[in-house]
Structure 1
Amino acid sequence: MLEVGSKAPDFTLQDQDGNLHSLSDYKGQKVLLYFYPKDNTAGCTKQACAYSQLKSEFLEKGIQIIGLSKDSVKSHKNFEQKQNLDITLLSDENLDVISSYDVWHEKKMCGKTYMGVVRTTYVIDENGIIIFSNDKVKAAQDAQKMLETVK
């Protein structure tokens, strides 16, 4: 996990509509960047739906919401449509950004060890500096907790 106070690595990735987004596009705005394991899974769906429902409240605080996983653009589009999401979802199939934000780690489930995305939330300030990070995210509560945490 990247340290609070460090410069957030820039990136350019496609969203669910195939449009390119760079972190530098958001200079002058705060960005809540959350990494999640997989589209259309229980926890990830709860997290994305909560962020989508609270989007206007985040925007009132001047915060853009971006979700990021290794799923494809097509998978993100299906996820958006199926769940009626209203947030930006970025695709990092090559794991470049996921690796640069240090959220690709060994995980264990049901006795199996595998590599995967550790659910992590970062808040990046107007100058591209990480001002909050959390890698102990509870998917269902993340959006509400972050709304209460950010100023």
Structure 2
Amino acid sequence: MGIPYSRQINAAFEQVTPLVAAGFKVLRTTRDISILLAVIQVLTVILLGFILLALLLLLYCVNPDLEEERKAIVTPWLRYFASITLWSIFKTLFSMVFVMGLAAAATWHFFLAKQWVEDVEYEGNVDAEKALEDLDGDGEGVDNGGKKGKGKGKK
């Protein structure tokens, strides 16, 4: 009596398993897209802040009533930008390349770790399927002990 019920459970499990796997892939893709959108939003806020700052500095430079504020706010920044040398540009570029290299290495490690997790999950799925096949295979060779039944246990 338990064998047809087990067959129904196995059939339902075989139908649901691909749906669960597809749902997991959708969730992983959604997570990656949400991270990308968060980064884009942060960059948008930073760029809008720079645009606002540039417009305020332009307002200070153009308005003749704000001459003292221009000397106090805009002129020091312009002096700073004028004092930039070739050596400071090289140092800044080297530092940025170093930091970007660290970020790239961390990102690469993240994706390799992600691939490793996917490989482990795949191996686990293969092992689980093999175990299920072994369980199904063990049930085929079961002898009824010579008893004759009504055929409920036949495949």
If each structure's strand is expressed as a fraction of its own residues, which one has the higher value? 1
With structure 2 as the length reference, what TM-score do the two structures score?
Answer: 0.18
Q: TM-score, normalised by structure 1?
A: 0.18
More helix by share: 2
Greater radius of gyration (CA): 2
Of structures 1 and 2, the one with the larger relative CO (CA 8 A, separation 6+) is 2
